[in-house]
């Protein structure tokens, strides 16, 4: 099972919107609506931001949204804030009762 592909880094200015992509295959991202996204600040535990492609857990800002097209899922953060600066990871059900993560994207707020 190969890791999902994410850009190593993205950046944006406060108030702007950014999108992080997560590319898998027809065996994982493309075949299941079971993509989730996690935010991780340095030396902190990952935090669930999006599940089932586009669902937000209670307490997560509506500035975070998720979508999927084919084998690629995306996380969009609108109205970028300094506190959004963190690493972001996608995750997908990979079939055969396994789960696969992306390599992570470092978001820098300029």
Q: For residue 88, state whether it binds another protein (rule: CB under 8 A).
A: no
Task: Specify the DSSP class assigned to residue 29.
Answer: T
Q: Which of 20, 22, 29, 50 binds another protein (CB under 8 A)?
A: 50
97 binds another protein (CB under 8 A): yes
DSSP string of 34-74? -EEEEEE-TTS--EEEEBTTTBPPTTS-TTEEEEEETTEEE
- In the complex, what is the shortest distance from the CB of residue 24 to another protein, in angstroms, rounded to a whole number? 14
CB-CB contact of 53 with 73 (8 Å): yes
Q: Residue 46, CB half-sphere, CA atoms under 13 Å: how many?
A: 14
Query: Stretches 10-18, 21-29, 69-77, 87-95: which one binds another protein (CB under 8 A)?
Result: 87-95
Interface residue list for another protein (CB under 8 A): 1, 3, 33-34, 36, 38, 45-46, 48, 50-52, 57, 89, 91, 93, 97-104
């Amino acid at each position: 099972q190969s890791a999902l592909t994410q850009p190593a880094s993205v950046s944006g200015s406060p108030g702007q919107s950014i999108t992080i992509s997560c590319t898998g295959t027809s065996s994982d991202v493309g075949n299941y609506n079971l993509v989730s996204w996690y935010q991780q600040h340095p030396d902190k535990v990952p935090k669930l931001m999006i599940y089932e492609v586009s669902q937000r857990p209670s307490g997560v800002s509506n500035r975070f949204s998720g979508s999927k097209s084919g084998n690629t899922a995306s996380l969009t953060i609108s109205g970028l804030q300094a506190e959004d600066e963190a690493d972001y990871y996608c995750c997908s059900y990979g079939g055969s009762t396994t789960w696969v993560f992306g390599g992570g994207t470092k978001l820098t707020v300029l």
